Structure 1
Amino acid sequence: MLPKPQSSLQPNTYEYESQPLVKPTGFREYDARWLFEKEINLMGIQALGMGIGTLIHEMGVRPDIVTGHDFRGYSSSIKYALISGMMAAGMRVKDVGLSLSPMAYFGQFALDCPCVAMVTASHNDNGWTGVKMGANRPMTFGPDEMGRLRDIVLNGEFKTREGGSYTYVDGFRETYLADLTNRPKLKRKLKVVAACGNGTAGAFAPQVLEAIGCEVIPMDTNLDFTFPRYNPNPEDMKMLHAIAEKVRETGADVGLGFDGDGDRCGVVDNNGEEIFADKIGVMLARDLSKLHPNATFVVDVKSTGLFTTDPVLKAQGVKADYWKTGHSYIKRRVNELNALAGFEKSGHFFFNQPVGRGYDDGILTALAVCDMLDRNPDKSMADLYNDLPKTWGTPTMAPHCPDEVKYEVVDRVVKRFTEMKDKGEQVGGQAIDSLVTVNGVRVTTSDGTWGLVRASSNKPELVVVVESPVSEARMREMFHAVDSILRENKEVGAYNQTI
């Protein structure tokens, strides 16, 4: 049996090589993220694997689990440490090798495994590692499961069991690609930039787009775990700007950017304009609700207000449900409401039957964008974007805030805005119309301008988003008003990007 994990150990010591290191803050709301070697070591990963197996048996779920790893220099070794722990806890492991997160989720269906443990730090910078987990396809763990897993691991409540086994599933990449491409080809000839940021999607996305009939312009598709140009994150303006430049240079119809583990997709139109993912969600909702009238779409609280105000969506009977940000939350909500799809501003899109299986897959999102263009042969991507009512929005901005205090800071901000509303005080020169506090606080003023503050679920940061249907000036006023409230808290640091 492994020793009880320690919350801190000094590297390059006997203790570090003899005990599990697991920093408690690595257990996030719906997955796990640590700085490898600084916050977790390989014995800590093994302890995590034993914890996953213990929890799954405790839940009464059949112990068959799919695992895979993303393309980072250390992910393979982390996966094998995780596997050793899961096997010790009686899990029957099916290893699909180097993979995208959605390929592992697909494996739950194709290999008849209720459980998944995908080793990935997603779009986090190099040095980070993590695991996305689930035991009830297509959902992944939420706060309850993550809280119980944290307690099992940190308290050393592991239970070893007989029956653990390991199988490497050879050729599963081809099985996954065949599932995505077993469909009619596009009627419209599209020239598509496929940008992968040297992440894992480079081994998947270009081939799928070519197979459905696109002319593909590959961009940063060679796998390189140093990420030499930029971090593979389609919410990062550096990546979006690079895609936009390539679109303008090549005259492409659309630019598609994929994150490090392939579960998100960013879009640039044919004019080289970067379209934030929530607006892509509105465009796809317009397109899909023509085929499926009166559909329900789940959207996260960071997303545009157009899901409830757009006249086209209203005319097509669309119902929008604003919910908590996070792939686990949106997935569950889509399942609960039997929604047609769920959209996050971060680019996680969840297509339910008949479009998808309910999990987030960036390549499937790319296919949905191509299908939308195919169904509108007389319109460019820019035309479809310009058809939307105009709003002015910020990118997702993330001021630094330590993991240990970020939720407390958000609670203070929620309380502050609540008191302001109760007293009739204004924000950015406008009266407060409403507050949504399902996930941080989304404060909307009387002219429809809104600002969001919430805690990041996977990094030591807060999340800030602002949008105005009135003007860019109102958007900037709202941002400065929200930021001034944040600055009342000394723990809030510099932004990763700002307007």
Structure 2
Amino acid sequence: MYPIPQPALTPNSLAYESRPLVKPTGFREYDARWLFEKEINLMGVQALGLGLGTFIRRSGVRPEIVVGHDFRSYSSSIKYALISGLMAAGMKVHDIGLALSPMAYFAQFALDVPCVAMVTASHNDNGWTGVKMGMERPLTFGPDEMARLRDIVLAADFDLAPSGGYVFVPDFAEHYIADLLERPKLTRRLKVVCACGNGTAGAFAPRVLEGLGCEVVPLDVELDHTFPRYNPNPEDMKMLHAIADTVRASGADVGLGFDGDGDRCGVVDDRGEEIFADKVGVMLARDLSAIHQGATFVVDVKSTGLYATDPVLKANGVKADYWKTGHSYIKRRVSELKALAGFEKSGHFFFGAPVGRGYDDGLVSAIAVLDMLDRNPGRSLSALKTALPKTWSSPTMSPHCDDEVKYRVVEAVVAHFASAKANGEPVAGQPIRDLNTVNGVRVTVEDGTWGLVRASSNKPELVVVVESPVSEPRMREMFAALDGVLRDHPDVGAYNQTI
């Protein structure tokens, strides 16, 4: 009988080497994340593989799975521990080696394999690891699946089976790159800064952009799992500033920044100005809805209000659906609504047919931006951005809040604003016009200024975003109002960045 996973074990001890360590909070809403060696050990990863294989087989899904890993010093060993558990549970494993997350999703289609487990900590700091999982392409697990998987793993309720197997798929990246380039080249010779933060995308993104006909200016494309300059995270202002400096110095048409596992893309315009991903989404929605009139776009609650108010999108008959933040939520919603695309403020973009296959791929997002420029030969990216109605937006701001208490804090914040609306109490000096509580609380006041508070799904943090269509001072007033409520909770700590 397999040992019951433990929530904590002392390192460098007999117990640590003979029992699985699996901290329960590592099972997030739509994937799994742990601090390796502190919250999960290799035997704990093996237990995760046993649990995932058991869950898949009990669900009646064909027991075959694609597995890949990102470029971190420990990801390969974690992947093989996961594989050992999957095989013991009767899964046939198709190992594609070093990969981007979207490469693993693509492999489900290209290899006709129903399930996926991608070992990646995405943009998290070194020390973190995780697994993105799914068994219904192009979807990944949501809260229900993650809860069932958690219960199986923590109870060691495993079904062992002798039918597991292993196949290594050589040079799979070549198939992925060829699929992206199976299209006409761009008609414009665009100069593109390709920034990878020394993460996994550096092995693949420059080749794809060159294959499209771009002149590529490489920035931190050498793979280095120490991430010597900054984390590969296109929401991080350090990375965006580095891209902006390189765009200005090189005279590039656009800067594109990819996160650690390549499923997100950040954008900097030709003037070296960062464009938050939700505004990029509005620009792409304008471009695509001109071709596909009446299209539906799913957007997360952190995103700009322009999806609902932009006159061009209205004229093109666009339907905007504000939904829960999280790649699994948006991906599933895009599939349910048969939407043309889904956009997250974090930079996860999901393109449905005929643009994509429904999963998030930073390179597909980059290609969509380049196609938009190609379809507007007389206009720069900054001109396309300037054509949007003006709003003042914050970056994503994340105050620390422990995993054990963050949802409770958010529930209290939701209750506070619900009470304020019911009692006619103003927020940031104005009455509340709308409350969206599909994911935390999004408070919109009379002049359209809004603020969001929600719990992060993959880190011990809250998420705060504010925007105003009126002025920067109004944006700051909304932030002060939200932060004032958060400061009533001692469990809420310092921000990673603020306005």
Q: TM (normalized to structure 1)?
A: 1.00
Aligned to 1:211: 211
* Secondary structure, aligned partner of 1:116: strand
1:384 aligns with 2:361: no
Residue 189 of structure 1: CA displacement?
A: 1.1
> Is 2:262 aligned against 1:245?
no
Aligned length: 499
2:235 and 2:277 map into 1 onto residues whose CA distance is 8
Alignment of 1:168-207 (within 5 A): 168-207=168-207
How many angstroms does 1:2 deviate by? 2.3
Cα deviation, 1:333-373, whole Å, max 9, x if unaligned, reads 00000000000000000000100000000001000000000
Give 2:307's aligned residue. Answer: 307
Shift of 1:489: 0.6
The correspondence of residues 78-157 of structure 1 with structure 2, limited to 5 A, is: 78-157=78-157
Cα distance, 1:456 vs structure 2: 0.2
5+ residue gaps, structure 2, are: none
Aligned to 1:67, what secondary structure does the other structure show?
Answer: strand
1:59 equivalent in structure 2: 59
Paired with 1:205 and 1:284, the residues of 2 have a C-alpha distance of: 20
Equivalent runs, 1:29-44 vs 2, <5 Å? 29-44=29-44
1:63-462 alignment, distance < 5 Å: 63-462=63-462
| Deviation for aligned residue 1:84 | 0.1
Q: Distance in 2 between matches of 1:388 and 1:59?
A: 46
The CA distance in 1 between the partners of 2:193 and 2:158, in whole Å, is 47
Residues 77-110 of structure 1 deviation map (CA, whole Å, 9 limit, x = unaligned) = 0000000000000000000000000000000000
Per-residue CA shift, 1:9-63, capped at 9, x if unaligned? 0000010000000000000000000000000000000000000000001111001
- One-letter amino acid matched to 2:225: F
Q: Which amino acid in 2 is paired with 1:350?
A: F
Q: Cα deviation per residue 1:352-399 (whole Å; 9 max; x = unaligned)? A: 010000000000100000000000000000000000000000000000
C-alpha distance in 1, partners of 2:323/2:298? 7
Taking the aligned partners of 2:480 and 2:161, their CA distance within structure 1 comes to: 56
**How many angstroms does 1:115 deviate by?**
0.2
Percent pairwise identity: 76
The letter of the residue matching 2:431 is A
Question: What secondary structure, in the 3-state scheme, does the structure 1 residue paired with 2:224 have?
Answer: coil
Supply the distance in 1 between the matched residues of 2:414 and 2:478 (Cα, whole angstroms): 16
CA RMSD of aligned residues (A): 0.4
What secondary structure sits across from 2:175 in the alignment?
helix
CA distance in 1, matches of 2:119, 2:190: 34
Q: Distance in 2 between matches of 1:279 and 1:46?
A: 41
**Alpha-carbon separation, structure 1, partners of 2:324 and 2:161:** 36
Q: CA deviation at 1:252?
A: 0.3
Corresponding letter in the other structure for 2:345: K
Measured against aligned partners, the alpha-carbon deviations of 1:114-157 in whole angstroms (never above 9, x if no partner) come to 10000000000000000000000000000000000000000110
**Distance (Å, rounded) in 1 between the aligned partners of 2:488 and 2:207:** 50
Report the Cα offset of residue 491 of structure 1: 0.2
Aligned partners of 2:2 and 2:474: how far apart in 1? 57
Give me the whole-angstrom Cα distance separating, in 2, the residues matched to 1:326 and 1:356: 19
Alpha-carbon deviation of 1:162? 1.9
1:4 corresponds in structure 2 to 4
Is the partner of 1:357 in helix, strand or coil?
Answer: coil
SS for the counterpart of 1:299 is: strand
Q: Hey, what's the Cα distance between the residues in 2 that align with 1:58 and 1:269?
A: 49
Report the alpha carbon displacement of residue 171 of structure 1 after superposing the two structures with TM: 1.1
Q: 1-side partners of 2:237 and 2:452: how far apart? A: 19
Q: 2-side partners of 1:89 and 1:292: how far apart?
A: 45
Secondary structure of the equivalent of 1:430?
coil
Q: Which TM-score applies when normalising by structure 2?
A: 1.00
1:63-87 per-residue CA deviation (whole Å, 9 max, x = no partner) reads 1100000000000000000000000
1:269-296: per-residue Cα shift (whole Å, max 9, x none)? Answer: 0000000000000000000011100000
